[in-house]
Amino acid sequence: MQNPTSPLSLFWTPSASNSLPAFALSLVVAAALAFVLGLVYVRFGESLSNRRLFARNFLLLTVTTTLIISIVKSSLALSLGLVGALSIVRFRAAIKEPEELTYLFLAISIGLGLGAGQLAVTLLAFAVIVIIILVRALLTRKREQPNLYLTVHSSAAQKLSVNQILAELAQVGATASLKRLDETPESLEALFRVTFPDVAKVEELSRRLRLQSEGVKISYLEDRGLAL
């Protein structure tokens, strides 16, 4: 039996490591929670990016975090090695929206909790967070009012202004918030988050904008689609 006071005890503590069945259970639960988290993000997220594609990262991220924490928590040498390894890792992919970062933190938190052996706490916290997301979605959802991202690109002599676009939105009864504006002397491109009173107003807005500028380019984005 290894002497608890020997130098080797600083690098490996068998009593701190999980049993193999418990470790396997943590991985299975991590995968299940990551899958549910992906479904919640796809259904209730508001990110402009491809949410289905982004949600695929949750499974690998959560399971990997669980694996890493399960291993390094029982070995000082491995934990020090992990710090050194992560110090040379460079992530080039930019997180474009805070919502994406929030869900990534949640996926990592699940892995941390399960890797540390806190199964009950992790399950309870995850359930509470999902319930909060569902309640928020139910309270803020407006039925039969399509929420779209409207992009208007106008150039040449008939370049539209932001005030003109907002005026036309008001004429069709829509409410809008400006998300991005790129303007040069030759062109304007504006991105709005728009709520229409009904689906028919989408076509009416396009018609009114084209009356103002024949060459205007209009695009709408909504991953969930329009319900008729």
List, for residues 61-108, the tens digit of each pLDDT value. Answer: 899 888 888 877 766 555 655 655 555 555 555 556 678 888 988 998
Confidence of residue 211 (pLDDT cuts 50, 70, 90): confident
Region for residue 34 given its phi and psi (left: phi exceeds 0; alpha: psi -120 to 50; beta: otherwise):
alpha
Confidence of residue 187 (pLDDT cuts 50, 70, 90): confident
Number of domains in the chain: 2
Is the pLDDT at 1 greater than 60? The verdict is no
Threshold 0.75, pTM exceeds: no
pLDDT of residue 197: 78
Is the domain of 122 the same as that of 160?
Answer: no
Written as one string, the DSSP assignment of 66-108 is HHHHHHHTT-HHHHHHHHHHHTT--------SHHHHHHHHHHH
State how far the alpha carbon of 70 is from the alpha carbons of 23, 34, 75, 99, 122, in Å: 7, 17, 10, 28, 15
The domain that holds 168 is classified in CATH as 3.30.70.240
Residue 173 is part of which domain span? 147-221
Confidence of residue 226 (pLDDT cuts 50, 70, 90): very low
Among 140, 160, 191, the domain-final residue is 140
H-only helix segments in the chain: 20-44, 51-72, 76-86, 98-115, 119-140, 162-171, 200-212
Position 77 in a domain: yes
Is the pLDDT at 128 greater than 80? The verdict is yes
Is the domain of 132 the same as that of 155?
Answer: no
Tokens 């008939």: give the residue. 158
Is the domain of 112 the same as that of 196?
Answer: no
Is the domain of 170 the same as that of 123?
Answer: no
Averaged pLDDT for residues 29-52: 86
Average pLDDT of the chain, as a whole number: 78
| Token pair listed for 24 | 């396997």
Position 18 in a domain: yes
